[in-house]
Amino acid sequence: MKNLRKIAILVLVIVMAFALCTPALAAWTTKQEKAHEIAEIARSIGLSEDDPIIERARTIWWDEYYRVMAQPAPIEKTYDIPQEDINALARTIWGEARGVPSKAEQAAVAWCVLNRVDAGYGSTVLEVVSAPGQFYGYSVNYPLDDDLVELAKDVLTRWYREKDGETDVGRTLPSDYYYFNGSGGHNWFRKEFRSSTYWDWSLPDPYK
């Protein structure tokens, strides 16, 4: 009975070792984990470290390690964002939402500006925020708060990524919201100038 069990385990180990050689297991972590599992099973039934099964599992593990290590690290794309745009957005957030406790809600002000740029209300961020009657919360005399400058840069980077074709960049406001008003310490965003339907904050918060 014990011999039959030992043979069954050996057959299982050999089958798993063969499966590791197939292209279906492309993810290196999975492949290495299975190689380690095979070696452990072989050891548990008393096979020595120089047994072909353990040697094969070890070879697979290290081959995968060197294959992955040889791959070039992904290069994160950077964008040459005009400082004028960063400053204009930061000052607008300061004027419109500096007291708002949520970073996602503050970012929504920036997204509202960028939605208007995309819709043709102006060709640049500064043109949009400084146009008469658009954003009363903007002034060139407003201070540049470090945290809001970083937030403005973050939103602009996400916007540039979106223009490069990414579909989930971490928006906090959909692209068809162009208006908002402040009440009760929050800003309430809407699609139309005259509308009682407001954004419900149903997108995931990228700042949590």
Residue numbers of the domain that contains 25 = 2-70
For residue 75, tell me if it sits in a domain.
no
| Burial of 77 from C-beta contacts in 10 A (0-12 / 13-18 / 19+) | exposed
For 53-104, the pLDDT digits (tens) are: 989 988 988 888 887 777 766 567 788 999 999 999 999 999 999 989 899 9
Strands of the chain (E only): list them: 179-183, 186-190
Asked whether the predicted pLDDT for residue 108 surpasses 50, the reply is yes
For residue 201, tell me if it sits in a domain.
no
Same domain, yes or no: 65 and 106: no
Whether residue 113 contacts residue 92, with contact meaning beta carbons closer than 8 Å, is answered with: yes
For residue 207, tell me if it sits in a domain.
no
How many domains, the chain?
2
pTM for this structure?
0.65
